[in-house]
Amino acid sequence: MNGHTASSHFTFSSTAQGQHRAPTLQQANNLQSVFKSGKIVIGTSLSYPSRHVAKTVAVTGADWCWIDAEHVAWSQDTLIECIQIIIHESAGKMIPVVRVPSKTAFDCMAWCLDAGAGGIIIPHLETVQEMKEVINACRFPPIGHRSFPPFSFIPGVTDTTPEGETVFSLANKHVAIIPQIESRAGIKNLEEIMNMKDISAFMVGAGDLRLDMGLSLGMTGDEPEFVAAMEKAKKVSEQTNIPLLGAAIGPEMIKQRIDQGYKILVCCLDLHTLAYGMIQALGEARATAEEHMGARHGASK
């Protein structure tokens, strides 16, 4: 069909441009293609369940946005609206990726994908069987059993596709499925899991992995078991050509993650940016005020 939408007027300057672009803003951009591009993909985050914050995040120029629904109690309506705000306020340049509440939150996976999310991160993934169930929920037939979303598309308007494609075949090619490995069991089964089809990237949840190993909370460490796990993740990523995704805050950690084989980074957390940005600004304000008042006091003597 040749639907006519305003989306055809947008141009792209980020990694979502060109061949990565979906035919309409109601369809998911080709995040799988972005991940396969070989470029370092830079992301930000949205943890505040707020439409206002989503509008701000959407115009910051990140390639993708991590929306965390695992540790934040989003309402269904707000989560869906913020996915769409990220897409539309960025003119489709920023791709929303949702970390769902759990590896069995199949209803949430469906709602997020129906809303246009470009990918799903699945926390605490440990086995091949769990991965099969997620793929089944996130892929349309003949790959899986994701249901047709009757309220997401307007026939002839928002379901425009290239010749030979349907909204279902494009979704299967575009949407990224990203398991998060964060336990000894997950690391043990990593090679078997990553040899499955339909996995677009994978993440090592360093903090939870360290806790599962009985180590202190942190994103990095030099303990032998933890180092071995990270080296295994890098090796499996290289062998399967499935890129690693992870958080990297600050220049030194970004360099470290790239050296560890990471291609997909979330480099800015909205919570930390707000908190530390305000702390720094307030500290500078207090120091300036005290210095200025001291200078005025000295001048008046």
Query: What pLDDT, on a 0 to 100 scale, did the predictor assign at position 12?
Result: 33
The torsion angle over the Cα atoms of residues 174, 145, 153 and 94, rounded to 10 degrees, is -30
Can you give the pLDDT at residue 40? 95
Where do the domains of the chain lie? Answer: 14-268
Residues 233/208, Cβ–Cβ less than 8 Å: no
Task: Please count the CA atoms within 13 angstroms of the CA of 282 that sit on its side-chain side.
Answer: 6
- Annotate 221-265 with DSSP letters as a single string: ---HHHHHHHHHHHHHHHHHTPPEEEE--SHHHHHHHHHTTEEEE
pLDDT along the chain (301 residues), means of 10: 35 51 94 93 96 96 97 96 97 96 97 97 98 98 94 87 94 98 98 96 95 92 95 95 93 90 93 94 96 83 66
Structure letter (DSSP) for residue 174: H
What SS3 state is found at 300? Answer: coil
- pTM to 2 decimal places: 0.89
Distances (CA, A) of 231 to 160, 184, 204, 226, 293: 43, 14, 11, 9, 55
Token pair, residue 2, equals 């040749």
Fold (topology level) of 14-268? TIM Barrel (3.20.20)
* Dist CA 236 CA 102 (whole Å): 24
Quote the pLDDT of residue 8. Answer: 33
Q: How far apart are CA 301 and CA 287, in angstroms?
A: 22
Measured between alpha carbons, how far is residue 262 from residues 26, 93, 223, 243 in Å? 30, 22, 20, 7
Beta bridge partners of residue 1, listed in sequence order: none
